[in-house]
Structure 1
Amino acid sequence: MGSAPSLGILNGTACSTGASAVVLLNMRDKDGSGLGACSGTLLTQRAILTAAHCVDGDVRSVSVYLGSGLPIIAESFVAHPAYRSSGGSTADAAIIIMAEPIGRTPIPLLLGRDARVGETAIVSGWGRTQDAVTATLHAGSTTISAVGGTLLETQYSANVSSVCSGDSGGSILVSEGGAWTIAGITSATSANVCNTGTNYYVGIRNSSVSSFILGIVPDAARR
């Protein structure tokens, strides 16, 4: 989707990683060569939500970095079967499965209602900032500008936070019942540079996406 297939947070704030449910994912091919980095969000102690384009193509292994210690090699990963890398896809969702519990508090899925235009949201990820700082967890607030049947959108502005390279697969969060919940998966931007244009997120309420997630992670928390 869009022209930036590997979406850090612009205008955001560096976060403590000690208990964060947002993790860094590093992809490698069969020879162990690096294929880029994405972000992901814990759904359960052993399941991480990310974007399908992060594990597409020649990816054969995924390692998970929690902010300290050594990366942990994932047991397996699966992309939404309807995902297509060309021409854009509203099925840009994937699940990373870990062999052992990670020991962080997961974030619930927002399934009880749609996200709302004008609603304040949080974006977070391990990608670039406007200063090109990478592999540091940042988060910041933005406003949802459009809600469709399959996608959510936010607009870049100097007054709000925005996603950039390395944030793909992270989540856009909205508040529900006093808790932050996952409303969408960071998928793409409309421009090759981060400080302009529209950001796109695959909506969790899309029935195809929610069915895929719950089919693999039936014990994922939801609101």
Structure 2
Amino acid sequence: MVLKKSKDKEDLTVDTISNPSLTIMQSKQGYRFSLDPIILADFFIKSKFKAHNIVDLGTGTGIIPLLISSKTKKTKIVGIEIQETLYNLAKENVKLNSMEKRIDIIKGDIKKIGKILPAEKFDAVMSNPPFREPKSGRLSNNAEKTIARHEILCTLKDILKASFFLLKAGGALFMIFHPRRLGELFSELRKSRFEPKIVRFVHSNKDSDAVMVLIKAKKGGNPGLKVLKPLYVYEKEKTYSEEMKKIYGIESI
């Protein structure tokens, strides 16, 4: 999965991704997808969880639905986005990649999920949520970035409440979050009647602490947690690990 920039369109860039081959329009100055949704989509695909209907909460430019749909042809995915600009970009990206039959993008507030989508109709929910609390860290001057990174328009509890509403019994929530708040996440998952089933920590390299954590939680699941081997992004400075090369579609030298 190699990201290449091509011609700019006003304040946008049109980027191409290989493995799979996708075209993504993004803002030059506003929110741009990072590594997080890419490894979250990979985490879901590698889990081999059977899901015919998926919801992506806070879809941004639609990167997660596009990645999953390109690998799972029979899956129907709905992306929900509250920010107007990102919603429009996600709609355009679905069209650019000819995935209108498999992906729907809806503008809406997940706190009002009952007015947007039906209850208990989905097999899986994806979430790459804002994991910084409103008063933690430095706020960006760009509203798109601030809303995407900080709990301004939705909180962890909002995400879990919406996920529980959407999922069928036995459905699964796939999430990427910051390890600093892992204790809080586990507590809130159980309060929301989810059971953590699989955890995988993401490290910059073998010598670094975890920078993110990937989680699969089952609605109404029984206790029993599996911790996978860590994902190392870099083998050494500026050199991707072998696993990351496979995720990105980079050939080993």
TM-score, normalisation: structure 1 = 0.29
TM-score, normalisation: structure 2 = 0.27
Query: Quick check: which one's strand share is greater?
Result: 1
Which structure: larger Rg?
A: 2
